[in-house]
Amino acid sequence: MFITPAFAQAAGAPAAGDFIGMILPLVLIMGVFYFLLIRPQQKKVKEHQEMLKKVGKGDTVITSGGLIGKVIKIVDDNELQVEIGENIRVRVLRSGISDVRAKGEPVKTETK
């Protein structure tokens, strides 16, 4: 019949254009991820850290656990004393504050 043997041909060396053609889409995808995901997240984290630095007496804060209270005292750089109810005070880490709801006038210091 008309059957001819098939011979494998040797693969040629990949051209430099093929390598660039494979890498370019990966670089573009990484660029898109950076500008659409990573950069906005870094900006949001920076704004949150600035907000935490500015928390002071009298501010109404929301903790990450969902408690809403008024800052009574700044214990140190990392801790705040927050009043969540009448004569109910808790110590909260600054990093545990998720939002500052309202800036208030400073709380008057108690004399005991």
C-alpha 3 chain-centroid distance = 67
Nearest to 96 by CA among 80, 73, 75, 74: 80
Looking at residues 10-16, what average pLDDT do you find?
59
Lay out the sheet containing 79-85: strands in order across.
Answer: 88-93, 79-85, 68-74, 60-63, 97-102
Question: How would residue 16 be classed by pLDDT, with cut points 50, 70 and 90?
Answer: low
Amino acid at 40: P
**pLDDT tens digits, one per residue of 41-96:** 999 999 999 999 999 999 999 999 999 999 999 999 999 999 999 999 999 999 99
